[in-house]
Structure 1
Amino acid sequence: MAKVVHAPAKPRIKMTADDHERLSRLAASAMDRVPEVASFLLDELDRVRIVRGGSSKGEFTRMGSRVDFRDNATGRTQSVTLVYPGEADIEQGKISVLTPIGAALIGLSMGQSIDWETRSGALKRLTVLAVKVPEAV
């Protein structure tokens, strides 16, 4: 009898109402340019729990957050800032939410892990080590 292997459940994620609204519009408008990433982001937005700006216990990855994470396969750690596509600059560590890894990071809290697919189709798993939320403007 074949053994059925189930993928780990996706972690619960949080998001502010403002990020949810802006990212929903962004993902919908990006469907023709990057359909796989836009579709993944829309799936993430569908399962998010909306929180008020300061009402959440603990920090979670939102737009502008600095995130430290580990590639679970290699053990390599990285620190990036999650930004909108027009602000992305890989040399400054600013990654777009419309990249596979950016869409995977949105809404995660410290200690949470998620599976994500690279542009080449490889399946990876990352774990968030720390989140630094941007200062309120």
Structure 2
Amino acid sequence: MTKVSPARSKPRIKMTADDHERLSRLAASAMDRAPEVASFLSDELDRVQIVRGGTAEGDFARMGSRVDFRDNSTGRMQSVTLVYPGDADIAQGKVSILTPIGAALIGLSKGQSIDWATRTGEIRRLTVLEVREAALA
């Protein structure tokens, strides 16, 4: 288990203006109850390329997206939907943006990789395999 800071540079990420605004408020309000994840999310928000418009074209992970990714440390593949904390349900694959994995995935496109720290401090690397819009319910 590696417990050092990621040395690799972070990939460029994209985000809609709406997601950026909402997630900025969420990160600020979560600083007292989940400071490490809120700080990581804030750092991610500071480096995004804002894509103008309500519905942006492109295959980058945004709120409501279904993201297939591989944990490069274990080779395990997963598929999750990025959601706000109140909608999280791990049994249904709905992962809160205020979890380390949710904050790591936001804004990534197919083929991009990022290092992230688990709740135990272990540094892992994931690679996005596919991004899909969630089916409307």
Question: Highest CA radius of gyration, 1 or 2?
Answer: 1
Q: Which runs of 5+ in 2 are unaligned?
A: 1-5
Match of 1:11 in 2: 11
Deviation at 1:54, TM superposition (A): 4.7
**Count of aligned positions:** 131
The Cα RMSD (Å) is 1.7
Q: Distance in 1 between matches of 2:19 and 2:135?
A: 15
Match of 1:109 in 2: 109
Are 1:68 and 2:68 matched, yes or no? yes
- Normalised to the residue count of structure 1, the TM-score between the two structures is 0.91
Q: Distance in 2 between matches of 1:132 and 1:44?
A: 21
Match of 1:127 in 2: 127
Deviation at 1:133, TM superposition (A): 2.0
Q: Distance in 1 between matches of 2:51 and 2:33?
A: 30
Say if 2:69 and 2:127, in contact at 8 Å, map to a contact too. Answer: yes
% same residue: 78
Deviation at 1:85, TM superposition (A): 0.1
* One-letter amino acid of the structure 2 residue matched with residue 32 of structure 1: D
Match of 2:3 in 1: none
Residues 22-71 of structure 1: CA distance to partner in whole angstroms, max 9, x if unpaired? 00000000000000000000000000000024554x31000000000000
Q: Which runs of 5+ in 1 are unaligned?
A: 1-5
Match of 1:93 in 2: 93
Say if 2:81 and 2:134, in contact at 8 Å, map to a contact too. Answer: no
Are 1:32 and 2:32 matched, yes or no? yes
Q: Distance in 2 between matches of 1:135 and 1:90?
A: 17
Say if 1:60 and 1:133, in contact at 8 Å, map to a contact too. Answer: no
Deviation at 1:134, TM superposition (A): 3.6
Deviation at 1:8, TM superposition (A): 1.4
Following superposition, which runs of at least 4 residues in structure 1 exceed 6 angstroms of deviation?
none
